[in-house]
Amino acid sequence: MKNNITPLTFCTLLGFFLLMLSPIVIKAQIVSAPPGGLWNNPATWIGGIVPGAGDNVVIASTVSVYPTSQCNNITIQSGGILQNRSSNSYTLFVNGNLNNQGVIQNSTYSLTVNVKGNVNNSGSMTNGTLSFTGTANQQMSSTQPLHVDNFVRTAGSGRILATTNLSFVGTAIDLNSDTLEFTTGTALTIDGGNLTDGVMFRTAMPALQITTDNGTHVNNFTIDSQEARLYGTLLVFGSANTFKHNVINFGTLKSQNNNSYSLTVDGNLTNNGIIENGAYSFTVNISGDLTNNGTWQNYNTVLNGSGIQNLTMTQPYSGTLFTKNNTAGRARALSGLSFVNTE
């Protein structure tokens, strides 16, 4: 009897047979039922299965996290609500990506969302904490202002990559010595929050535009951008803040009111707005060029560069002190200079 199975056909059949024997891992997608409910209740989910660490979740109704819960990717659809159970504060661990088109909010207490992947927000986020916990770079995009209480980076490697402009209202941004890098995003707005313990980075032009108001302050923070443009009012807290390269102030730059503080500008500083003291004194240390086209009236401005530092003024400097403290290099006037009540 003639055998019609060729070697190629045999190999194909064998491969198919072995594939059928191999375990296939498919992440389930679990969708919330119309009534919604508690995360740990099977009745909350279509099919009656409570999501686990490897499941992709779609929130199409109101789901309350209880107890501490986890999933892989999660999407909150328009009309969907993700919140904590109102009896206490709870945490959701997202091992993949978070896509919010609906509402993420607190319910009486606080909801913390820890994310290892990327975050995309086109809805409303007013919950307690959004924490980036991945060990690789994590992308962040948002077309709506974020009203979270805390925006935190907790991993020891990787960084947050802002792929859109970002806007925060009442948010404490704590990078824990990590970096928020603006890639395709070019603007940050903070209304009534703070920037703490980290680096804001942009590698190339156009300039990074930073708008702050309502008591927003920086503390132990570095702005590292080829050009940073400051708008609104920014308060400087502490004396471990550094702004690098070219800094242009269009708003008000001053020390916070509770003590005397200083700012280091490791580069050039152009003032088109106001630089002044808070309730106490404010010292600005500059290693590059100084240009004043506005009101400059802080306690002390220190030229500490080791090379030539060019000075240009179209408006007078009226700070208490104007100092050169590095014996190397020199200060070179490129225009007339005017000082009012300055030592």
Q: What is the per-residue pLDDT across 207-263, written as a single tens digit (0 to 9) for each?
A: 999 999 999 999 999 999 999 999 999 999 999 999 999 999 999 999 999 999 999
Q: Are residues 181 and 227 in the same domain?
A: no
Q: Are residues 181 and 86 in the same domain?
A: yes
The domain boundary residue, chosen from 167, 185, 203: 185
Q: How long is the chain?
A: 343
Q: Is the pLDDT of residue 291 over 90?
A: yes
Q: Is the pLDDT of residue 73 over 50?
A: yes
| Predicted pLDDT at 8 | 52
Q: Are residues 330 and 232 in the same domain?
A: yes
On whether the pTM is more than 0.85, the answer is yes
| Predicted pLDDT at 327 | 87
Q: Is the pLDDT of residue 7 over 90?
A: no
The domain boundary residue, chosen from 129, 163, 185: 185
Q: Are residues 42 and 180 in the same domain?
A: yes
Q: Is the pLDDT of residue 93 over 80?
A: yes
Q: Are residues 77 and 180 in the same domain?
A: yes
Residue 131 corresponds to which amino acid?
S
Q: Is the pLDDT of residue 86 over 80?
A: yes
Q: Is 128 contained in some domain?
A: yes
Asked whether the beta carbons of 171 and 149 are under 8 A apart, the reply is: yes
User: Hey, which residues does 263 pair with through a beta bridge?
Assistant: 284
Place of tokens 């991945």: 134
Q: Is 15 contained in some domain?
A: no
Q: Is the pLDDT of residue 156 over 80?
A: no
Q: Is the pLDDT of residue 266 over 90?
A: yes
Comparing 83 with 327, which gets the higher pLDDT? 83
Q: Is 213 contained in some domain?
A: no
Give the domain range for residue 155.
24-185
Question: For residue 134, how many C-alpha atoms fall within 13 Å in the half-sphere facing its CB?
Answer: 21
